[in-house]
Chain A
Amino acid sequence: MEFEFDDEQRLLQRVVRETVTRTRSLPEDQLWDTYLELGWLEAPPVELAIVLEELGYAADPTPFLATATWFAPLAGRLPRGSGTGVFDGEGRFVLDADRADEIALLTSEGVVVRDGKDLAAERLSVFDPTLHVARVDAPDLVAGVPDLALMGLAVSTVGSCRRILDLVVAHVKERHQFGVPIGSFQAVKHKAADMYVAIERAKVLAYFSALTIAEDDPRRGRAVAMAKAAAGDCQRVCFRNGFQLFGAMGYTWENELQIHLKRAKAGDLLLGTASEHRKALLV
């Protein structure tokens, strides 16, 4: 097997990074149009993972993740506008269901696609006000989480964690106490190093799962469970160490760290925590 990006994938990664940095302050609808123009919604699994990691890094405000990894694998097509999917058998905590143009429902009769407006999903009040999750009321729902949805959430969470680490590294280089940057203290270094290792572990497992989906490999079910569990492990380390190393500044609303901490945590709590996916690996 070969486990590094080819030239085209490297180029895509660079383009996504540059685009995401350049468009950071654009309003949501313009961001969305940019993603559509660049064809990111049509990207195959590994390329999609590259896009999602960077959108996770940027705490993307659009419904891209739900459209590409919750709607598309269920409906087998892209939606008119944005979309999401209901596949938990209950319609609880459905990502972006309150603003999706189309919603794919996994029912006992198979997949049914409904107009978002007709379902009138009720947005839930959550700790992260930028996160759209909603309750969908519909009959005959059954459970069956698409592999792509687990991979997508895992790799987005890796992106959030990378952002947390970058913010922390910049902070501990800048912040002086006792006459030196706090990043020169070994206690600080070791926490940062542990974040880095957790991110690398989660990242390779996320990309491996994308690769097994791309090649429809029989290992894909286990691979996505590992990816989701490792992303969960990773956010635990990055949330705890990242928050702690930022000191009181990370405790404020103004500091952007809070956005990424919340995204990372949501990435674990949605579609099953690390512990639940570990249990899935044991059966």
Chain B
Amino acid sequence: MRLAPDPEVEKFRADFSAFLDTHLPTPEEATVRSKSSADIPDWARRWQRTLFDEGWLLPAQPPEYGGRNATLPQVVAHLEELSRRRIYHSFNPQGLNIIAASLLTFGTEQQKRDWAIPLLRAEITASLGMSEPGAGSDLAGLRTRAVLDGDHFVVNGQKVWTSGAHDADVLLTFVRTDPDAPKHKGISVLLIPTASEGLVRRPFGSIAAPDDLDFNEVFFTDVRVPKENLVGPLNEGWRVANGSLGHERTLLWVHYAERMDGLIQDSPCDEEWYATLQMDVQALRLLGYRLLGADRNPVEISVLKLLGSEAAQSAELHALEHHGTEALLHPVQTGPYTHMNIEAFTASWFERYARSFGGTIAGGTSEIQRNIIAERILGLPR
């Protein structure tokens, strides 16, 4: 244990910070807003491309995939620098952090060339087709079917909550390829272009506004998908799912810490919850740093997810109540203006609290996290 920062990490942080100082898009450039999590405005495409070219996009990757072979603590520093300035490296976060990252792990060389690189260079965007009307927390119960017919899979079924699908070029889709196998065993992963015949997307509004369109229903009717779009081995989709989300989950705590830091800045007060918030964010960071160490149980990610999402939500509620009746106003400015991340500051206190439920519902609900902790850390019977 030591407090002093690792010189290698600090050098990395300083280099990235210097890069940001000179390369960040200016407010004059960044005028067009992103409309969904798979819509990247032109200026942001150029920005992501610059990050890719300079090796600052996914720093853990080798240079040919937009990185510089960074270590995990360096990756944390990268995220922290972005968070501190309240900016994004991509406006298609799932395309970058989940889909491109899993293609780099599980994809063929051709898939990396045809799909991962264009995603990394912001030439195309992607969404993740996992949840279904009947398969949320019980994701392995998914029923969208894919049947091999010659050199194509034929896909029938429905996905839902598919964030950004209406703006995405391709969907990383989890499908059932062996209906007779135990439910975790018969799943495969397909890259399905959204322009495919028989694929229909219907975006629907969030709690924030009817025109806040990110969620989608996606319907597949006899959609033909070339065989070479299979990602990973046939029927090994559950392994890909765990790997894909693993990329995302390992460092998800940085985003909760960012959220909480934002609130510390935006709602200073002398009430007890404000001290609790500072303790929670400090504990979250320490748990995150500890998790970077060797031989920690990866299941401990659930502790960070649960603590981070619930602490953020509790603080957002206190902030909402702190503003009393005024908190009804919407839209209203609640944070400093940052041209790269305009959503964060235009959200009212009410909207911010409502959006905090994304943290406790998406990516494994708090209830599922508690089950995981009880069963896989404490060893309680299923």
Contacts and interface: CB of A to CB of B under 8 A. Distances in A.
Our verdict on whether A and B bind, yes or no, reads yes
A221 B203 CA distance: 51
Nearest to A172: B380
B378 A3 contact: no
A102 B3 CA distance: 34
Interface stretch (A68-76, A143-151, A180-188, A248-256): A180-188
In this complex, which of B303, B378, B381 has the most chain A Cβ atoms within 10 angstroms of its Cβ?
B378
A244 B370 CA distance: 18
Nearest to B272: A278
Contact of B2 (A1, A181, A282): A1
Interface in A172-200: 172-173, 180-181, 183-184, 186, 188-190, 192-194, 196-197, 200
B345 to A, nearest CB: 25
Interface stretch (A13-21, A34-42, A132-140, A202-210): A202-210
B289 A1 contact: yes
Bin chain A's interface residue count: 35 or more
A188 B380 CA distance: 9
A123 interface: no
Contacts of B324: none
Interface residues of B, number: 41
A189 to B, nearest CB: 3
B4 interface: yes
In this complex, which of B3, B272, B367, B371 has the most chain A Cβ atoms within 10 angstroms of its Cβ?
B3
Contact of B5 (A1, A180, A215, A282): A1
A190 B367 contact: yes
In this complex, which of B271, B293, B296, B373 has the most chain A Cβ atoms within 10 angstroms of its Cβ?
B373
B292 to A, nearest CB: 8
A22 interface: no
Q: Could you tell me the dominant secondary structure of chain A's interface residues? A: helix
B361 to A, nearest CB: 16
A275 B279 CA distance: 12
Contacts of A4: 1, 290, 293-294, 296
Given A3-B293, A197-B307, A201-B283, A190 B4 contact: no
Contact of A184 (B1, B293, B382): B382
Nearest to B268: A282
A201 B380 contact: no
Contacts of B379: 169, 173
Interface of A: 1-6, 9, 46, 165, 169, 172-173, 180-181, 183-184, 186, 188-190, 192-194, 196-197, 200-202, 204-205, 207-208, 211-212, 215, 217, 226, 229-230, 233, 275, 278-279, 281-282
Interface of B: 1-6, 270-272, 274-276, 278-280, 282-283, 286-287, 289-290, 293-294, 296, 300, 303, 306-307, 367, 369-371, 373-375, 377-382
